[in-house]
């Protein structure tokens, strides 16, 4: 099963796919992986229930781009 960092690149680039070139997509995906991975790990620190890491991946990736 892929972790949140793996899926984050696809989630981050999908809304911007029509407006960035390959280089921009590469850097968005490169940044989205680690940023969303650490955001998904925040649930352990703060103790909120997010079994699917929806906040850590989707919300943070949307804000990132």
DSSP string, 16-59: TTTT--HHHHHHHHHHHHHHHHHHHHHHHHHT---TT-HIIIII
Query: What predicted TM-score, i.e. pTM, was given to this entire model?
Result: 0.65
9 CB-near residues (< 8 Å, 6+ apart):
28, 29, 30, 32, 33
10 CB-near residues (< 8 Å, 6+ apart):
29
Rounded CA separation 44/41 (Å): 6
pLDDT 10s digits, 3-58: 666 677 788 888 888 899 999 888 888 888 888 778 777 778 888 777 777 777 77
């Amino acid at each position: 099963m892929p972790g949140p960092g793996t899926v984050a690149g696809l989630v981050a680039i999908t809304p911007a796919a029509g407006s960035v070139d390959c280089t921009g997509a590469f850097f968005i995906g490169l940044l989205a992986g680690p940023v969303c991975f650490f955001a998904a790990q925040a649930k352990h620190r703060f103790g909120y229930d997010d079994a699917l890491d929806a906040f850590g991946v989707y919300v943070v990736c949307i804000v990132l781009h």
